[in-house]
A and B are shown apart, each in its own frame.
Chain A
Amino acid sequence: MPFKKPVQKYNASINTVELGVGDKKIVLGGENVLPLYTFDGAIENAPKVGIEISDLGYADQVPGISGFYADCATIADMAKKAASIEAVDFVCLRLDSADPNGYDASFEDCVATAKAVAEAIDKPLVIAGCKNDEKDAQLFTKIADALQGKNVLMFSAKEANYKGIAASAGLAYGQKVGAESAVDINLAKQLNVLITQMGVNASNVVMNTGTAAAGYGFEYVVSTMDRVKAAALGQNDASLQLPIMTPVGSETWGVKESVASEEDMPAWGSQEKRGIGMEVTTAAAVLASGSNAVILRHPESVAAVAKLIKELI
């Protein structure tokens, strides 16, 4: 009997969300098959690769990262350099300086930084905060206002601060809103419901369902994403048919495999190679589980993951 290949195609699909403007704008989502399942149906919009820069600079990072930006005098220079990598689809500016427990940079300074970065690049921009819910909410509101017309993604609103971010970025200033939950499938759905109930169109929302470095509770990350896609496609659950963006580099470059020096751990070999390995492995795994975009830090990781996507899609 001849083998008949079963096809798993769904009558539901993931929403498309556009980021950026002009020639370099990108589209996330749109697929009606499971992640990377091109054998079941075409995936029109391949997963996208973003590169992350911090407004505190990367002087303390591994040589491959710090060296890459060594000739950059300003954060705008860094953004330009990052965006010049061909495989990079978008740039993520992380405003670490805003942290009230750290540098506590003023809103004015952060807005100026965001503006300078937005002007320096023509690729889409994602703005990540300082992980302080209160400060981020105000920060995103001010930046969303300042960058009107640039179609940037505010990454992200959480349960504690979504109202202000959704109202400003999503409604008043026409930007995109990230919806972040910490590896909690029910909260992921709930947050999408709450944001859309405020009047934000679902096609202006990107999910961050939470992340971890591979090996650090990562199976929960994967099972959450699996469940999101199963509900979105298999149960036609409109509240979960949103593309997912996963910050990878900010997680993986903080775990011991990436931080421990070769001097301390001679048996583990090159620190930089380990760090890239952690970043690429984690990115590949979240892409296979449903991420429509990943944010990486090391230029070599960007090249490797972009190549992986190109070979698969």
Chain B
Amino acid sequence: MGKFVVIGERIHCISPVIREAMNTMNPEPILKRAEEQLKAGATYLDLNIGPAESNGEELMKWAVTTLQGAFDNVPLALDTANMKAIEAGISVYNRSKGKPIVNSADAGDRIEYIDLAANNDAICVALCSKAGVPADNDERMAYLQEMLERGLTLGMEPEDLWFDPLFLVIKGMQDKQMDVLEFIRMISEQGLNSTGGLSNNSNGMPKNIRPIMDSAMVAMAMMCGLTSAIVNPCDLRLMETIKSCDIIKNETLYADSYLEI
């Protein structure tokens, strides 16, 4: 399926620094976080501007051109509840390093994000849920098929839908973890791509535990065929695990310095 795609999650308006930077259109803090993530090995950067109801279009255009201008057209995932803002971002997006990712559709209220991706030749993250957490993998698969069909009908390539199995928090849903992994295997067996907010599994755990749990999760998920994740690339243990798994899976060629590149 190719080398694992790391989507860096750290440009997110939930962070006070980033929110302030977005409010004042101050590029410095955003560029700093972008640089840290790219240095750490991110391929894509997620750009989450929040709901951005009033100035979303302007803000997204500014952020896309700022990031791509500073980092050789780095490929981006455009992440907001404001669909117009995503379209505006794509209108100024340079595709030379990869298609834009629309983040994200689901099988419920956000199904039209698939239409948006299809109309703009973008990749779309497709959450396999409708309202809340699906009861089981049959339900997840039904949503997947619904979204896949919609995308294909609109002319999308199947590999441009990146299905999100919905990673669940261990503290509270420990008994569901193997289901999630099994679902990743089901996605992979159909030859489809997958991604998701992997570190959700360790939500609420102590800071020193989270990288360990996230690394274990990503290794097991990659074994099941996960092709991408939206994660914090500055988590060294996690990145080392991903790079090592790519070696074991023969997706990258081993060299003694593989962790440094």
Contact = CB atoms under 8 A, between A and B. Distances in A.
A187 B255 CA distance: 7
Contacts, number: 33
B240 to A, nearest CB: 16
A239 B256 CA distance: 13
A6 to B, nearest CB: 17
A21 interface: no
Interface string A12-40: 00000000000000000000000000000
A25 to B, nearest CB: 28
A235 B257 contact: no
B2 interface: yes
B253 to A, nearest CB: 5
B12 to A, nearest CB: 28
A197 to B, nearest CB: 7
Contacts of B3: 235-236
A189 B251 contact: no
A70 B162 CA distance: 69
Nearest to A234: B2
Nearest to A191: B255
B71 interface: no
Contacts of A197: 257, 260
B250 to A, nearest CB: 9
A236 B3 CA distance: 9
Nearest to A189: B255
A24 B103 CA distance: 52
A181 to B, nearest CB: 11
A239 B257 CA distance: 11
A239 B254 CA distance: 11
A227 B256 CA distance: 17
A199 B64 CA distance: 30
Contacts of A235: 2-3, 251-253
B261 interface: yes
Interface in B232-261: 251-257, 260-261
A190 B256 contact: yes
A260 interface: no
Contact of B255 (A190, A227, A236): A190
B225 to A, nearest CB: 17
A185 interface: yes
B251 A239 contact: no
A190 B252 CA distance: 13
A193 B252 CA distance: 14
Give the dominant DSSP class at A's interface. helix
B172 to A, nearest CB: 39
A239 B2 contact: no
Contacts of A231: 252-253
A193 B261 contact: yes
A237 B257 CA distance: 14
Contacts of A190: 255-257
Nearest to B98: A11
Given A235-B2, A235-B3, A185 B260 contact: no
A240 interface: yes
A201 to B, nearest CB: 15
B193 to A, nearest CB: 16
A193 B257 CA distance: 7
A236 to B, nearest CB: 8
A194 B257 contact: yes
A160 to B, nearest CB: 15
Given A193-B261, A235-B3, A186 B256 contact: yes
A89 to B, nearest CB: 30
Interface in B191-215: none
A254 to B, nearest CB: 30
A10 B253 CA distance: 18
B260 A239 contact: no
Nearest to B250: A235
Interface string A152-195: 00000000000000000000000000000000011101100110
Q: Which of B251, B260, B261 has the most CB of A within 10 A?
A: B261
B257 A186 contact: no
Contact of A185 (B253, B256, B257): B253
Contacts of A194: 257
A186 B252 CA distance: 11
A158 to B, nearest CB: 15
B253 A193 contact: no
A186 B254 contact: yes
User: Which 7 A/B pairs are nearest by Cβ-Cβ distance?
Assistant: A189-B255, A190-B255, A231-B253, A193-B257, A190-B256, A186-B254, A189-B253
18 contacts: A185-B253, A186-B253, A186-B254, A186-B255, A186-B256, A189-B255, A190-B255, A193-B255, A193-B260, A194-B257, A197-B257, A197-B260, A227-B253, A231-B252, A235-B3, A235-B251, A235-B253, A237-B252
